Amino acid sequence: MLLSICIPTFNRLNCLNNCLNSILIASQNYNFNFEVCVSDNFSEGDVESIINIYKNKLDINYKKNNKNLGHGNNILKVVSMAKGDYVWILGNDDLILSNTLEKLHEIIQLNNDVDLFFINSFNLSSKAVFKFPQPFHTSNLPRDMVRFSKRKLSGKLKFFDLIDPKISFDFLMGLYLVVFRRTKWEKNTGVIDKKSINDSRTFSTFENTCPHLKILSRAFSKSDAYFQAEPLSVNLSGEREWNNLYTFVETIRMPEALDFYKSDGLSKFKFFYCKNYALRNFIPSYFKMFLKRDVSGFQYINFNSHILKNLIYPNVYLSVIYFVFRKIKKFFTKNLIKINS
């Protein structure tokens, strides 16, 4: 089997229904041997009723955890269920396009020496999906969706070429962005600190926020990669239960990811460039997290590693200027629209 599409799911049954329906539509358009693995992290709703809709139409491997294992552990769990040569982790609020399986099969076959594929994605508000009859049919996707990565040229790269804000501004934080060789992943899961990933507090550690980044860095840092410029998935915004923690993830966890990349061979120049970019909202973000400290993840901030060590980067200080310019631009844009209307 060439591909396992792995979905770590928790609640959001309507999203899971749409995700599986998008996979079904793609499978009907292209005859391709693949499986779907779903690990339910002890959802409150009846996930099995959704699975039953598709189990006779798709090759689905479904398991429900006896308790909520946490976000990080559920990612590891669903990949451990996979049998395919390659794994694609999708959020339950992601969709694939009608031609995705055909295109993905083609690029893997043409680049069978590649261990990791960056699969570009469209960004879309969930409001655009839920205004249609459910489950959503991907033929109703708008044609003017925004691309995650603006890079237009597909082709082979090195893994660390992908760690660039011009390609991936979140430095592969998004689960849905990569298809990777399963055996290499499995050989490098030991990089995960068990105590950290088992911390039950939401996003309290790097491991229970984005364990996939540590594994990808250790497993593929010396590998060839392939950048797929044409988006093959749609990432929905507006349904994440951790929206209150987005600023924390962007300001704390994304810069931390670069520390792991550096330990696995990211050059000092590239590290400084990317770290400086990652801190472009530093002061306004810390102020925002402080104001909402009860729900923002502010309690997980370490003064030495998250503040003091970052003070050498220019964007820490320029972040205030960037913030002011954004506000001025937004003000004039808003008023210009009013005048023209």
What tokens were used for 154?
A: 């597909």
Shared-domain flag, residues 220 and 261: no
Report which of 25, 19, 49 is spatially closest to residue 37, judged by C-alpha positions: 19
CATH of the domain at 21: 3.90.550.10
323 contact partners, CB below 8 Å, separation of at least 6: 281, 283, 284
Tell which of 177, 211, 238 closes a domain.
Answer: 238
Q: How many residues does the structure list for the chain?
A: 341
Shared-domain flag, residues 152 and 194: yes
One-letter identity of residue 284: P
pLDDT in tens, 252-265: 999 999 999 999 99
State in Å, rounded, how far the first CA of the chain is from the last one: 56
Alpha-carbon separation of residue 273 from 124, 254, 267 (angstroms): 29, 14, 10
Would you give the DSSP letter of residue 209?
T
Give me the domain span that covers residue 67.
Answer: 3-238
Judge whether residue 335 has pLDDT over 80. Answer: no
Shared-domain flag, residues 107 and 49: yes
Pairwise CA distance, residues 90 & 8, whole Å? 7
Shared-domain flag, residues 219 and 263: no
Report which of 260, 273, 177, 169 is spatially closest to residue 226, judged by C-alpha positions: 177
Shared-domain flag, residues 69 and 47: yes
pLDDT at 329: 84
Query: What's the structural domain count of the chain?
Result: 2
Scanning 71-120, the segments in alpha helix (DSSP H) are: 71-80, 100-110
Shared-domain flag, residues 270 and 138: no
Judge whether residue 240 has pLDDT over 90. Answer: no
* Inter-residue contact 154 to 227 (CB < 8 Å): yes
249 — pLDDT class (breaks 50, 70, 90): very high
What tokens were used for 113?
A: 């020496």
Give one word for 158, left, alpha or beta, with left for phi > 0 and alpha for psi -120 to 50.
beta
Only one residue has tokens 């599986």, namely 20
Shared-domain flag, residues 215 and 77: yes
- CA neighbours within 13 Å on the CB side: how many for 298? 12
63 bridge partner residues: 39
Pairwise CA distance, residues 107 & 125, whole Å? 28
DSSP per position, 232-257 = EEEEEES--TTGGGHHHIIIIIHHHH
Shared-domain flag, residues 258 and 175: no
pLDDT at 336: 63
Shared-domain flag, residues 256 and 162: no
Pairwise CA distance, residues 257 & 160, whole Å? 13
Report which of 34, 163, 181 is spatially closest to residue 111, judged by C-alpha positions: 181
Query: Helices 314-340 and 282-291 sit at what angle, rounded to 10 degrees?
Result: 80
Element (H, E) at 325: helix 314-340
Q: C-alpha dihedral over 122, 127, 133, 136, to 10 degrees?
A: 20
Pairwise CA distance, residues 37 & 116, whole Å? 19
Pairwise CA distance, residues 9 & 249, whole Å? 20
Tell which of 218, 238, 258 closes a domain.
Answer: 238
Provide the sign of the torsion angle of the four alpha carbons 185, 190, 191, 195, taken in this order: positive
Shared-domain flag, residues 184 and 44: yes
Count, in order, helices (H) and strands (E) of the chain.
Answer: 13, 10
pLDDT in tens, 4-43: 999 999 999 999 999 999 999 999 999 889 999 999 999 9
pLDDT in tens, 110-120: 999 999 999 99
* Inter-residue contact 205 to 302 (CB < 8 Å): no
12 in helix, strand or coil? Answer: coil
Judge whether residue 72 has pLDDT over 70. Answer: yes
pLDDT above 70: percentage of residues in the chain: 98
Shared-domain flag, residues 28 and 56: yes
pLDDT above 90: percentage of residues in the chain: 92
Shared-domain flag, residues 168 and 70: yes
pLDDT at 238: 82
Tell which of 212, 238, 264 closes a domain.
Answer: 238
